[in-house]
Amino acid sequence: MNLSYDTAVNTTYALTGIAAIISIIFYLFIGVAIIITLISLFMIYKKARKRPIAAIIPIWRELVLCDIADKKWWYIFLLLIPIYNIYILFILFKELANKFNKSAGFAVGMIILPYVFLPILALKCNYKNENIMVEASENEDEIDEDVIKEIDKIEPIIPFDNDEVLDIHESE
């Protein structure tokens, strides 16, 4: 019996087992990071009053991101260009960060570590719209009084007065 052959085989089996365990841990980490990122995007889209389901549908996700960042829809084609897509992603994330009152440095963090910075954006930050601020609260059923006051200030756009409608019907 060759002792060196048995030792080599046992060592190979041990290293294969260790490599398998490391691979499983790595893929679990990647899977958790993807799930955290998708849930964060879901919450960000909900705060921005977009359809949250768009967070899990690939092309629609980028279209909604362009919409939130006030960019044109064709920016998704620029995301397909290698190397240049990092710059476009920075532009989109910078505008997204601006909508949540964050800096360009935060946008860099969203590119490098999205599974850390996107949950911060989703959980801790307020979405800024031109007309209304939506406050982040622990209880979503709670309505902020300042938001109600801002909504009351907005006058509806009506093309004509109700009296004019009555005049039209009376003349017939």
Per-residue confidence (pLDDT) for residue 133, from 0 to 100: 46
Are 104 and 97 in contact by the 8 Å Cβ rule? The answer is yes
- In the block, tokens 């719209």 appear at 129
pLDDT class of 145 with cuts at 50, 70, 90: low
Averaged pLDDT, 115-137: 72
What residue ranges do the domains of the chain occupy? 3-145
Beta strands in 12-75 (DSSP E): none
Radius of gyration of the chain (CA): 26
pLDDT class of 132 with cuts at 50, 70, 90: very low
pLDDT class of 83 with cuts at 50, 70, 90: very high
Burial class (CB in 10 A: 0-12, 13-18, 19+), 110: buried
Res. 86: pLDDT tops 80? yes
Q: Which helix (H) or strand (E) holds 133?
A: strand 133-134
